[in-house]
Amino acid sequence: MREGDSGTPQQCGSVRMLETFPVTTCLSPTVHHMVCNLGFEIEVSYDIRRVLCEDNRVCWKTLSDTISYIASGERLDYVQSVRLLGPLCEAVHTHLSSLSSDVFKEQFGWCFYWTNNAELFLSTLAVLQSLDGTQISLSLMKVTSCLERSLGDVYLMIGKDCPFLLRDLLASAELAEVFSPPVMDVLRVFLGSPESLNLRNILWHGFASPYEIPPKYCSMLILLTAGLGQLLKTYLAQTASSLEHRPYFVFHDLQELHVFPDLNDEALSLAEKLVNKSTFVLQHMTPFWTEAIIAFRQGRYANCAILLLPQLETGLRLIFTTVNKCPHRMLTAESSSLYTTFDEVLAKQLNSDSDNQVPLTLGEPAMEFLWDFLNYQEGPRVRDHLSHGEIQCSEFPREMANELLSFSVVLLCKHLDQEDVLIKEISVLYALMDAAERYQSRFHPIALLRKQVLDCSESLQRWTLLHSPPLDHSQQVPGLEDMAEFSHETAHILGLLPFQEDVDSLHSEDLDSWLLTDKWINTMTELCSKRIRTLYCHRWVLEAVGVLRKVSTQCHLVSNNIISASELRFEQWLSKTLRSRQRQNYLRMLSSIQVLSPILRLVMTLVTGDLHNIHRILEMTPSEYQEYLKHIKLVLQYTENLAIYTSLEKNRWDESIELTRRILLKIRLFYEKHKSSHIIKDSHP
């Protein structure tokens, strides 16, 4: 439910139903022919010993001799290469399928060690023998992502900054140096280029259905991975090198990802029914959805996410093509065009510069969820990490799978016909739907600034609990004469703030004392709870938020410095281990703390006010914006210097007070000058 709504969550049919497309494949004719037919045109049987030597080493020469090139000899002829490799892939598939797991492990187990995930490749044998298209596709997605990660590790033995795109990695001189150019050309026929079989991309982007990928291509990739391991062992021995594996990505702060209640058996059972009824699901993709729910039930959370993410992309692509009236974009594009992926589906505009209708159709909360979990650099970026092999599947958290599946179930529900009998059972999912409607971004820079403000405010609140030693008359804290001057200055600045009218507590008492009461942190919490638009922010907004985040970070650092120093010096005072000069410095620190406490709270109040009005930046002229940016950068410079001066190594308290005096003057002059201008004009939510 959105703010202001009442009653039950929106009914599932409130989102306009998707048009019914007679889609039986999402592969364009050319891609479908390449993947499903081309490798079967030559009906020839090959002896496996043309591909495997007696000692089970891969005969790369046989494979590379089969690769064809365009007349110039510089570009691969992918069509002819796939056609000629087809019978060899069939021979490999027949051979591997005939092996027992023990024999397979004995002959090839060591060849997969270089991937740092040998068990994944060994377990694929049983999947190949099952001929289950869903499981084979799942294995291919896991194998290709792991292979990409492993090839990146090899690349980093020689090069720096591993390419992000698989096609660039496969075409790199670094990998060609280790494995040889002909070997890399063989791999490129299967992966990386839109002109190739492109197995990784058509599966991970949700274009291929469970039975469109011939199992023999999975078998060949397994064997090629083993062959790469054989070549790498020789290279490492010859060069006396070693292969180091990059650490896996680990999801931190899982509580930040918690959106939906835990899925129970009742909700999962209804989800299984929705898969077969919702127009969000293409019929030929149904097995992927069903298996994703089964995987969740069985605790195979990485498998659930790997199966689910491409289907979420497919369903959103269906919405995209429907609301933007471009049904042809449901299919894989030809090699001269980009596929329609999450990037295009979630974009603000279409290539034609007309507005993308998906954000309007899904609504802001759903779009914020998708951007949070998929795109923002400081978010989990779960699809990127999984598809590039950066996550150890056995460690994939249930919490993440629960969020993805819950969100997907909400979309299934919203694209259910109002007349369907399942409508009567939807009450089971009201909690999920309500959570989806209330979602606010957690990983957009604006959301991260909001969290930083609250964390810093809580840290500053801890200053009230700091201990001070009992002092006699001769030990009075020096410098308290600064307090009156600064108190007057902070009160004056608070009176100029543009959001003052929105904060009741600012009218209930003296402004200077308000900063030191519990009402201050309550106000920070209240202001940070207000919804702020995050989608498609202007460059100015993002630039300003970036500076404000740095200010907040430095303020938090200052707070931590003060807390650490105060606790340490108090213990040393009690134990009488402070020298005379240290005692005087400690007393000066106590004085400075009383001055700095309201000042840092003032700075965080200003940051919060700017966040509250952040979109008002767009009403500024370029010169006004540059002036505002210069102002907050001056505040940033102050907090950076203060963080240095208040560190245990520096203890420069007099300089800290002088810095503070100068910045208060600049802040006051800025607000006085622009009191009536766009720069600090009030903005009511």
User: What's the mean pLDDT when you consider all of the chain?
Assistant: 89
* pLDDT over threshold 50, residue 319: yes
pLDDT, mean of residues 280-284: 95
The more confidently predicted of residues 240 and 256 is: 240
Alpha-carbon radius of gyration of the chain: 31
User: What pLDDT does residue 677 have?
Assistant: 55
Residue 519 has pLDDT above 60, yes or no: yes
> Among candidates 140, 165, 149, 147, which has minimal Cα distance to 249?
149
Q: For residue 625, name the pLDDT band (cuts at 50, 70, 90).
A: very high
Cα–Cα distances (Å) from 169 to 155, 156, 348, 392, in that order, read: 8, 11, 30, 21
| CB-neighbour burial class of residue 676 (10 A; exposed 0-12, middle 13-18, buried 19+) | exposed
Least confident stretch, 105-109, 127-131, 581-585, 621-625: 581-585
Residue of 530, 535, 537, 615 lying closest to 367 (CA atoms): 535
* pLDDT computed for residue 339 by the predictor: 84
Identity of the amino acid at 194 = P
Q: What is the pLDDT at residue 606?
A: 94
- Position 186 pLDDT exceeds 90: yes
pLDDT in tens, 431-440: 999 999 999 9
Largest CA distance in the chain: 102
Rounded Cα distance, 171 and 150, in Å? 15
Q: What is the DSSP letter of 33?
A: I
- pLDDT tens per residue, range 638-667: 999 999 999 988 889 989 999 999 999 999
Taking only the tens place, the pLDDT of each residue in 566-619 is 999 999 999 999 888 888 888 889 989 988 999 999 999 999 999 988 999 999
Predicted confidence band at 680 (pLDDT cuts at 50, 70, 90)? Answer: low
- Helix H, strand E, coil C: the string for 434-483 is HHHHCCCCCCCHHHHHHHHHHHHHHHHHHHHHCCCCCCCHHHCCCCCHHH
**The two three-digit tokens of residue 302, written as one number:** 């990485």
Over residues 423-430, the mean pLDDT reads 83
Confidence of residue 486 (pLDDT cuts 50, 70, 90): confident
Query: Given this model, what pLDDT does residue 1 score?
Result: 32
How large is the average pLDDT for residues 350-355? Answer: 84
pTM confidence score: 0.90
Instruction: Indicate if the pLDDT at residue 300 is higher than 50.
Output: yes
Question: What b/e readout covers 635-647, taking b as 16+ CB neighbours within 10 angstroms?
Answer: bbebbbbbbbbbb
What is the reported pLDDT for 13? 42
Are 10 and 437 in contact by the 8 Å Cβ rule? The answer is yes
Measured between alpha carbons, how far is 79 from 75 in angstroms, rounded to an integer? 12
Find out whether 174 and 155 touch, Cβ atoms under 8 Å.
yes
SS3 of residue 17 by DSSP: coil
pLDDT band at 500 (very low <50, low <70, confident <90, very high): low
Least confident of 20-24, 133-137, 158-162, 672-676: 20-24
Q: What integer pLDDT is reported at residue 591 of this predicted model? A: 87
Residue 502 has pLDDT above 70, yes or no: no
- Domain spans in the chain, listed from the N-terminal domain onward: 29-239, 252-437, 445-680
Contact 76, 68 (CB under 8 A): yes
pLDDT category of residue 4 using cuts at 50, 70 and 90? very low
Q: Give the pLDDT band (50/70/90) at residue 503.
A: low
Map tokens 């006085």 to a residue: 672
What dihedral angle (degrees, nearest 10) is formed by the CA atoms of 610, 614, 620, 626? 60
Report the sign of the C-alpha dihedral through residues 127, 132, 136, 139, in that order: negative
pLDDT band at 9 (very low <50, low <70, confident <90, very high): very low
